[in-house]
Amino acid sequence: MKYLVSFFMLVASVAQAQQPTWKGKFEQLDQLLPTPNEYRTGSGSPGPKYWQQRADYVINAELNDENQSITGSETITYYNNSPDVLKYLWVQLDQNINTKNSISQLTDQNTVIDSVTTLDLGSSLRLHEFDGGYKIKSVADAAGKALPYVINETMMRVDLPQPLKPGQQLVFSIGWSFNINNRMHDMTPNDGRSGMEYFPEDGNYLYIIAQWFPRLCVYDDVVGWQNKQFLGQGEFTLEFGNYTVNLTVPADHIVAATGMVQNPKDVLTAEQQQRFEQAKTSFDKPVMIVTQAEAVVKEKTKATAKKTWKFYAENVRDFAFASSRKFIWDAQAVKVGEGKTPLAMSYYPKEGNPLWEKESTKAIRACLLTYSKFSIEYPYPQATSVHSASLGMEYP
């Protein structure tokens, strides 16, 4: 037996001796940094021929407070800045994680447990009954001619009538709608990042809406189209672009969103407009644009009319918004760098007080000052904090 053991030890030592000595001290860090080329350097910085795609959006959407749904249409201008000829585009359909038997549900690895709470059981049952996901109504080119498309779970491939050459741009549109999930009671696969919160005491809703419109996938020189399925808890990459977004909501709603509101005179009272302008030069303390007393009145007298809030955001990677008649709104200006005075703004229901009125905008101001000092100056005109029970998420 001892001879057999000695034999195996000898074989192992010979095999080890035949292994070449590792000399990869300076090899690339696997997937952390792609192989250097003319588009990117070994440090990860842009190379002399770096390129990046771009997608601009014009979105018109309406929030239905009666049946908790959103109907919208968008026009996308896609810029092919790559050296490649593109025969099709990939579009993200994140809301499709809420469809019945979606890939996120089928890949859920929850284990069987001995007992379950009534809340969890009801949530699981409602999830299977919920009519979630996009209803894609149309995909068309700039002339209105239908474009062929194929939906694969949370991804949609749009085939182009002719190849999109380097330096060219394409304008096309998508019409869609979806039902808003109850992010508080239902175990939806998006982990509560987006949805509605219902307040039974006054019968009102607070909507936190993210990953809500079809968005272009990223195309780069490393992997091409980044079209992996969205499973709910993973992160995502998006192209930068300009957003023009028109949101139609009940007339008594206050809307918080990416970018800056372009038509305050159409959606705010004269007094609220004055407060909003005052906040732009108030550096010592927040200005109450919508007070708690005003928000409470709107909770009781629900409007039947509608208003359209118009927003514009320049050079951002995504667009999210929140809407409710319950919102209290305060804001103040923050001096950042040379001549920059972005607004720090907070939106919250009365249930968030007294904490939010005292601390929320103060915290935003501290973040803007600290990060602008130790990293880069904050580049956008506003930073917003929205009260969202149970879970927080950053956008864009």
- Count of beta carbons in the 10 Å neighbourhood of residue 74: 20
Residues of the chain with CATH 2.60.40: 52-216+226-239
Q: Give strand pairing partners of 182.
A: 196
pLDDT of residue 373 exceeding 60, the answer is yes
Residue 377, pLDDT score: 94
Contact 348, 384 (CB under 8 A): no
User: Is residue 314 classed as helix, strand or coil in its secondary structure?
Assistant: strand
User: Is residue 106 classed as helix, strand or coil in its secondary structure?
Assistant: helix
Residues in the chain: 396
Interatomic CA distance for residues 188 and 176, integer angstroms: 20
Strand duo 382-386 + 343-348: pairing? parallel
Query: In terms of pLDDT, which residue wins out, 79 or 21?
Result: 79
Contact 265, 277 (CB under 8 A): no
One-letter amino acid of 136: I
pLDDT of residue 18 exceeding 80, the answer is no
Q: What is the pLDDT of residues 281-299, one digit of tens each?
A: 999 999 999 999 999 999 9
Query: In terms of pLDDT, which residue wins out, 144 or 184?
Result: 144
Residues of the chain with CATH 3.30.2010: 270-308+324-390
End-to-end, the C-alpha distance of the chain in Å comes to 67
- Count of beta carbons in the 10 Å neighbourhood of residue 150: 10
Most confident of 193-197, 335-339, 354-358: 354-358
Architecture of domain 270-308+324-390: 2-Layer Sandwich (3.30)
Q: Which two tokens stand for residue 23?
A: 């000399």
Most confident of 5-9, 187-191, 299-303, 357-361: 357-361
CATH (one of 1.10.240, 3.40.109, 2.40.40, 2.60.40) for 52-216+226-239: 2.60.40
What is the strand order of the sheet 155-164 is part of?
149-152, 155-164, 86-92, 215-216
pLDDT of residue 115 exceeding 80, the answer is no
Please provide the average confidence, as pLDDT, over all residues in the chain.
Answer: 89
| Ramachandran assignment for 79, one of left (phi > 0), alpha (psi -120 to 50 degrees), beta (any other) | beta
Q: What is the pLDDT of residues 161-197, one digit of tens each?
A: 999 999 999 999 999 999 999 887 765 555 557 899 9
pTM of the model as a whole? 0.87
* Residue whose pair of structure tokens reads 């209803």 in the numeric block: 135
User: Is residue 320 classed as helix, strand or coil in its secondary structure?
Assistant: coil
Residue 14, pLDDT score: 45
